Amino acid sequence: MSESPVRVGVLAGDGIGPEIVPAAVAVAEAAARGPGVSLQWVELPFGRAAIESHGDPVPDDTLRALDDLDLWILGPHDSASYPPPHAARTPGAVIRSRYGLFANLRPARAFPGVRATAPDIDVLIVRENTEGLYADRNMFAGSGEFMPTPDVALAVGMVTRAASERIARVAFEAARQRSSRVTIVHKANVLRLTTGLFRDVCRVVAQDFPDVDVDEQHVDAMAAHLVRRPADFDVVVTENLFGDILSDLAGELAGSLGIAASVNCSDTKVMAQATHGAAPDIAGRGVANPAAIILSTAMALRQHGDAVSRPGLVAAAEAIEAAVAAAFARSIATADLGGTASTARFTDEVIAELG
Ligand code: ATP
C-alpha cells in the first residue's frame, strides 16, 4: 500500500531566499523519488512579497495553512528593511512562537573538499529559542526592549526553569546519538540569576544522563575555545542569544555560513531554516550558497521521518546529505567557499549525485 504524500510548506522569504529555497525543493524532490516516499509542496506567501500581496509579511492564510502541516522550509527574511509597521515584528519569531518551536538545532561540521578554518569541527549547538534577551519572544504583551527616555534603552532578558529543562533534555538526548558530550554554555559569573538558572537546571538534567560527559564554559571563553580546539566539543547547549552568536562562529569555522544548517522544532513540528540571514549584499546575483538550506531541509525530513516512523524520509535525508558531501568532495563550491559555482550549478551537481 502506498503511503500518503508528506505535505511540506515552502516559504521563500527575502533576499537570497527565492534563489536558495527552490534549490532545496528541487534537491528534496530528486531525493524523494524512491519507493515509499512522496513529497507534496505547498507554497505559501511570506516576507516582503507577502507584504505586497497580502499587506502582511506573515499573512493569516499562511498561518492557517501551516496549522495543517508538520514540516516546512522557511527562507530567510530581511525584516529590518520592511516599511513600518511591519519592521516591528520578526516574521520567523511569529511562526516560532505560534508553533512552540522551542529548540533550534544548529550543527556545524566541516566537509572534505571544503576550505575550512577548523577542518575537524563537528558540533551541534542546541539553542533555546523562546526566551533570553530577544525582545520579540520574552513578553506576553509589548516588547522586551524599550526606551524610557530618548537617551536610555533597556532590554529585558528572560530565563525560566521549564524552558531551560526542556532544552537541556533535547541536548542530552542528542548527545546520546553523537559522542555523548555536552558543554553547558552560560555567563553565570555576571548574569548570575538568568544564565545562572539556565546552568543550574542543565546541571540537574545532566544527573539523568550519567552516560553523558558534561562540562561548562562561559560564553566568551567558549568562543575562544571553539576557535582554538573545536574538535573537543560535541553538543553545546545554551540560551538564545549566545546560541545565535556561537552558531554563526561555528558555521564559519566549518567553512561558511552558507553551509550552516538548522531546524527549529517542537515535539510535533519541524521547520527547516538556515542559520544565515537574507544576505541582501549578494541577493539576485545567483551566487548564494544553497547548501545550508538544502542540509536544513534534510534535517527536517529526517526528524519528521523519525517522528512518524517513515524510513523513506530518513533515507531521503541521508541521500541528500551524501549528495551534498559528494559535490563538495569534487570541489564544487560557491564563491563563499572560494569556488566559482553558481547557485544553479551547485544545485544541479547535487541532484546529479542523487542519480
Ligand atoms: P540575520 O541576522 O538575519 O541572521 P545577518 O545580519 O547575520 O542576518 P546574513 O544575511 O546571514 O547576515 O549575512 C552575513 C554574511 O554572510 C553576508 O556577507 C552574506 O553575504 C553571507 N552569507 C549569508 N548566507 C550566505 C549564503 N547562503 N551564501 C553565501 N553567502 C552568505
pLDDT tens digits for range 186-196: 999 999 999 99
1-102+260-355 shares its CATH topology with 117-254: yes
Contact 272, 291 (CB under 8 A): no
Query: pTM value?
Result: 0.94
Dist CA 181 CA 173 (whole Å): 10
Ligand 1 neighbours (beta carbon < 6 A): 16, 76, 257-258, 276-279, 281-282, 288-289, 292, 336
More confident position, 36 or 267: 267
The number of beta carbons lying within 10 Å of the beta carbon of residue 218 is 18
**Domain residue spans in the chain?**
1-102+260-355, 117-254
pLDDT tens digits for range 135-144: 777 788 888 8
Mean pLDDT of 233-240: 98
Q: Catalytic annotation on 99?
A: no
Q: Is the pLDDT of residue 197 over 80?
A: yes
pLDDT tens digits for range 267-315: 999 999 999 999 999 999 999 999 999 999 999 999 999 999 999 999 9
Average pLDDT, the chain: 94
Q: Atom 14 of ligand 1 has which residue's CA nearest to it?
A: 279
Q: Catalytic annotation on 244?
A: yes
In the chain, DSSP assigns E strands to 6-11, 39-43, 71-74, 103-109, 122-128, 145-149, 152-155, 181-186, 213-218, 235-238, 263-265, 270-272
Q: Catalytic annotation on 269?
A: no
Q: Catalytic annotation on 248?
A: yes
Say what the pLDDT of residue 2 is: 60
Q: Is the pLDDT of residue 178 over 80?
A: yes
**At 263, is the pLDDT very low, low, confident or very high (cuts 50, 70, 90)?**
very high
The rounded Å distance from CA 50 to ligand 1 centre is 21
Identify the CATH homologous superfamily for domain 1-102+260-355. Answer: Isopropylmalate Dehydrogenase (3.40.718.10)
Name the CATH topology of 117-254: Isopropylmalate Dehydrogenase (3.40.718)
